Structure formats: structure tokens, C-alpha cells
Amino acid sequence: MSSNPAAALARIDAGSLQDIFEEKPGRIQQPVMQCVQIKPIAASAGGQERHRVIFNDTRNYIQTMLAVHQNHLVEEKILRRGVLVQLLGYTANKVKSKRILIVTEIKVLEEFGEHEKLGDPKPLEVKPEDEEKPFPTAISSNGFYGAKQETPKPSRPMPSHPKPSSSSAHANIYPIEAISPYSNKWTIKARCTSKSDIKTWHNRNGEGKLFSVNLLDESGEIRATGFNDQCDMLFDLFQEGNVYYISSPCRVTFAKKQFSNLPNDYELHFEKDTTVEKAEEQDGVPQIRYNFTSISDLQSVEKDTTIDVIGVLKDIGETSQITSKTTSKPYDKRELTLVDNTGYSVRLTVWGKVAANFDVPPESVVAFKGVKVSDFGGRSLSLLSSGSVTPNPDMEEAHRLKGWYDSQGRSGNFATHANVQGASAGTGGRSDPFKTISQVKEEQLGMSDNPDFFSVKASIQYIKQENFCYPSCLSEGCNKKVVEIDPGQWRCERCDKTWERPEYRYIMSVNVSDHTGQLWVSCFDETGRMIMGKTADELMEIKEVDEKALGDIFSEANCRTWNWKCKAKLDSFQEQQRVRYQINSASPLNYVTESQKLIDLIKQYGTD
């Protein structure tokens, strides 16, 4: 591998960043640059981690966003600080005083090695005459999918044009990953990968209806919803698999993760002036994108995680019905059994019209996007309302499974995850020896086959406010997470019941420390009530009306010292093993007892 800085400097396409945004004739379409910094962005609730990457063309540098399907380059340390890269796919936008570059496909040029910052780059600045030119360019490995229209200079009169073709009429193509509440005057070109049925609701505030679609382009995915009049106008227009142009005005809001499994912080709400048009050209936009988890790996996936899965349909159960407690209407469900070439089987439940109309023949290969992992009866799966079912997809994974099943899988025996259990029971009369945090780590507690139990005196340093609680079933002794299938309808998979509201229960991640070190621990409802001084329901009510007051309550819980009884257990997730620390109980300090402990400790080191 070469480490010659001169050779690397000569390979970089100097000035290419400026060329990208100025759309200069003859510019290099897939320029070479240097990666000078990679910074992870914390994932929002239910979302995927994303990365900001700074690229340098020796004259300028710019902060970019790496598309989530390219995360593996960072995780596998292929994309690193100092390496040279070739941008194969990207979308560039100018919005007022900002430059936005989304990188959708990248090639790392390993032969040039790693180097300190090459050249003397300056921040890429927006020229005053460019501030009102929001015409982006989009390059993919297949070429352009958004061509720039020529913009007349302000000093010249606007020329008249005949009506352009569909592609040229939508030159201002915005990448989905660049959409935020601060974006305006944008058009996306996206494929509809999923479309829900029309849902209705009736509550004290009125009644209405809605439907939702999932939209995909090369940069990412986003959910869009049409309410009432927009539901009537757009429902028949959208068809799964077709490509559309969607143009603002369209409201951008924070995503409600309970209704969507997409890795996007935002979602769209169609408005009366939103323009939706079916694209004449249906290529240039990716098909549905999967991230499959094998059935054998489900035992190491945390409950309530949303995944994609593919398998052979081994068994199809009969349709059964449950009754909604709030509407008293029947609700269809059907249980399927999937197997794959890892030798495992799993039960997957589909609901509503998907269950009633399910007509995929047995022994078909089926891909499911957007299924929730449950620990009910071991490990099982449930198709979310925003998920999709694709029988016999034309992809490598499906062909491989079909070949395996025909040759040996049809007559095979399959293991299940029936013995995978949730949290352990109470502590009984077990001994929990006192440890310092450094002793916990030095003694490698939790690294054996069986969990280890210990006590520790430690202070709270930080409590994660994201996902500090979950909506649970109201049935006595259940406590399972419920899912809002419609406004005011919360369904419990375990009890087959629907409630008007859930009871929120704590599930918190807390950083605690003593004088020897720090640990991340998880704690549940009883402990959460003790350290927060309020129920999770009360905190959710506060969160709805006053985010600052919620933050103050979390701040007040910091720096308080407790005696914790803990469990350390080895856990596997995505082929990585780590010890998880769980709080079984917490108690406030008894200063008389603590003083006696100190006296006894001093005596151990005392002299005559």
C-alpha cells in the first residue's frame, strides 16, 4: 500500500466541491477527495445511527451526511480518517446560505493509504449570487437522476419555455435525507414501497381518516400521511412499487416512532397544495431495501426491536379473530411459521386485512419488512401495520433459500427459540456481595455462563431521557408493551386485548459511578419510580406540556447516591458479546449503617 503524500495529492480532484455546486460544464462526475473527519450522530428513538463526514478536495472542505445504507463502511473501518475516496453517488443542494451534500455511494481508494490533511482547504462558501439558486444536482452510480435547469441571471428577463417533459419539470430534486422542518420549495422523486389501508378514528375531539405510505430514494426513506381530504385525493393515486414526484408545500414533522419502523427523524403530512405526480420514468430509484436478520440470530436481538426477515413459509395457520375492547369490532390475525437455512423456525403473526387476505402458498420464500421481535413464548415476530410482505422476491437471498429448501430443508427438523426467556425473577435469599465498580470489572462479573449478583454504592451521573419508558398493558400482571394500532386503540399481543390508553412503565439507562469507575446500568419501573420520585405516567404528562420541566426533573435525580443490587449477565447482540448490568433494586443510604461500615473499614487498617 502506497503512503506517498505526493501521489495522493495528485490523485485528488482539486476544486471539485465548488464544481459540484456550480454545475460547471465538463466537471468530474465522480470526484476523488480525502476523508478528514467522521463523526457519529446519536440515533433518535427507534432510529439508526448516522455519520457526518468531512471531505477535502485540497481547496475546500465540506461537512456531508453519509446515507444510512453506507454505515457499514464506518463500522467495518473501511472508511477512515485520512483515506482517499471516490464519490460514486451523491446529491447536492443549495438552500439559501447552506450547502447540503448527501453521500449515497462511496469507494475507498485503499492503495493511496492514510494521510494527514492534504492541501490547505478552506470552508466551502456560498457566493451571494448563489443564495437564491436552490437547484441541486444528483449523481448516482447509474448517472443523473435530476438534471439542472438553466437559471437566467437576475438582470435578464425570464424567457418563456414550452411545457417541459416530466423529468425536466422536476429538476429541483431533493434527497429524502436532506428534508427537515427547515426545508422549503423542494421536490422528491421516490418509490412507494408500502401503502396502508385507510384507517378511521372516532374520539371526543371528532372523527377522521388517514392513510400512510413509505417513500424511498437513494438517500433514505420517509413516511408520509394523508388526512381526511388528502386521504380522499391521494389514496387511489399511490400504488406500491411506483415512482412519484412529491412537491412542497408539505408539512415536515418529527416522526412518531410508534407508527413507523423507518430510520428517519422526520415524516411528511400531505397538505391541500401538496403536488403528487406519477413519474413517467420509473427507473433511477431503488426498489425496497432490506436488512435481514437470520432466524437463528433472533435469540440475540432485544425484544421490541424492528427487523426485516426472510424465510420459507413452512406452515400457515387459520384466521382467528380478537375483539377490540374499545370498538367491540373483530380484528383478524393469522400465525405463520417461517424457517431458514440456519436450522431454526419462528412464529410470525400478521394482522387485519393482511391476515384475512393472505394467499401465499406454503413453501414459498417470503420477505417481511418491518416486523417486531417479541419475547412472548420465547421469541416470536409480529408484522407492524407499516410493514410489508413480498412473496418470492427476485433477490439473491431468496434464490439461495429456495435452493436450500428444495435440496434438504423440506425434510429437515428445526429448532425454536421457545427456551429464550425475558428478565429473571426476584432475588430470593441470594447473597449480593458488596463490590466497588473497579472490582466488578476486574473480577469480570457476568462473563460466565450464569449471571453474577452484587451490590454497589454509587451515584447517578446521567439518565438517558430518550426512551425512558414504554406503554404497557393494563391487564394485571401482564406489563407487556402495547402498540397503538389506531388513535386511542392500544393492542396487547399477549392478552389479545385493546385499551383506550396504556400505562407507562420505566425502562431507563443510567450511568452510575463511585470513586473507582463508572457503569451503564438498566433499571425498570419500581426502581425508576424510586429514583425519579414520580410515575412514568406522570412524567409523560409533563413531557407533553413542558419539555424544560421534564429536563429539570431528570437533572434533580443526578448526583444522588443509592445502594444498588445488581445483576451482571453476558449478552450477545449482532455477533458481539458484552456484559449487561441490570438493577434489581435500589435503596437510599442509611447513614448510621454507612458510618458503621466506614468505622469497620478504618479498624482493618488501624494500628496499636
Given this model, what pLDDT does residue 427 score? 37
For 35-71, write each residue's pLDDT tens digit: 998 888 755 444 567 788 899 999 988 888 888 778 8
In whole angstroms, give the CA distance from residue 503 to residue 346: 29
For 437-468+507-595, the fitting CATH number among 1.10.1060.10, 2.40.50.100, 2.40.50.140, 3.40.50.620 is 2.40.50.140
Dihedral of CA atoms 231, 237, 239, 244 in degrees, nearest 10, equals -110
For the cut 80, the answer to whether the pLDDT of residue 230 exceeds it is yes
User: Could you tell me the pTM of the whole model?
Assistant: 0.45
| Closest by CA position to 422, among listed 562, 308, 535, 522 | 522
Answer for the pair 220, 264: CB distance below 8 angstroms, yes or no.
yes
> Which range, of 140-144, 232-236, 336-340, 362-366, averages the lowest pLDDT?
140-144
CATH classification code of 176-278: 2.40.50.140
For 124-145, write each residue's pLDDT tens digit: 875 555 544 444 455 554 433 3
Most confident of 45-59, 93-107, 203-217: 203-217
For the cut 60, the answer to whether the pLDDT of residue 166 exceeds it is no
Residue 175 burial (C-beta neighbours within 10 Å; 0-12, 13-18, 19+): buried
In whole angstroms, give the CA distance from residue 595 to residue 102: 59
In whole angstroms, give the CA distance from residue 66 to residue 88: 12
Strand (E) or helix (H) holding 22: helix 16-22
The helix/strand/coil state of 526 is helix
Q: Count, in order, helices (H) and strands (E) of the chain.
A: 12, 31
Ranges of each domain in the chain: 5-123, 176-278, 295-416, 437-468+507-595
> What is the rounded average pLDDT for all residues in the chain?
80
> Are 176-278 and 295-416 the same fold in CATH?
yes
Angle between helices 536-545 and 525-532 (to 10 degrees): 60
CATH classification code of 295-416: 2.40.50.140
CA distances from 327 to 333, 360, 386, 458, 497 (A): 17, 30, 21, 49, 11
Class (C level, CATH) for 5-123: mainly beta
| Closest by CA position to 414, among listed 469, 339, 353 | 339
Q: Could you tell me the end-to-end alpha-carbon distance of the chain, in angstroms, rounded to an integer?
A: 68
Quote the percentage of the chain above a pLDDT of 90.
Answer: 22
Burial 502-530 (b: 16+ CB within 10 A, else e): bbbbbbbebbbebeeeebebbbbbebbeb
